[in-house]
Structure 1
Amino acid sequence: MTNKRELSPEDQQKVDQFLQRGVNSVARKPFKPLKLLAILLLMVTGLSVFSLLLAKAAGL
């Protein structure tokens, strides 16, 4: 049993108008999760190395 609903033409027009204005109309680059993962790994690794150097400098 499928529950397929369609908008009335007036409602569809309102949705289309909303999607064309403001923040929704800005073209964005596609999301790249591997790039985000690489950046996070670099940051965590960098902070870890920094904390190790800081601990060594403090004599711990």
Structure 2
Amino acid sequence: MTSRLNPDDQQHVEEYLQLSQHQVERQPFRPWLLLGVILAVVIALGLLSRFLSYLTL
């Protein structure tokens, strides 16, 4: 893909992206872990809701 920036601006962008604070190593995305966390939160909130309704009735 060609850039719509002029060469000087493109060079500034490339230099900016090469700075150390933009070179962070990230762990791979784990969708099953995310699904597990969401499921655990939903179950915990459901149990809390049932417990609170038990206390108020």
Shorter-chain TM-score above 0.5? yes
Indicate how the Cα distance of structure 1 residues 38 and 51 shifts in structure 2: closer, same or farther if over 3 A, else same: same
Q: Which residue of 1 is the match for residue 42 of structure 2?
A: 44
Q: How many residue pairs get matched?
A: 54
Give the counterpart letter for 1:46 in structure 2. Answer: A
Distance 1:56 1:41, change over 3 A: same
Identity %: 31
The answer for unaligned runs of 5 or more in structure 2 is: none
2:32 to 19, 31, 34: 34
RMSD: 2.4
Q: TM-score, normalised by structure 2?
A: 0.68
Q: Give the alignment of 1:1-12 within 5 angstroms.
A: 5=1, 11=10
- Given the two structures, how large is their TM-score scaled by the length of structure 1? 0.65
Bigger relative CO (Cα 8 Å, ≥ 6 apart): 2
Displacement, 1:24? 2.8
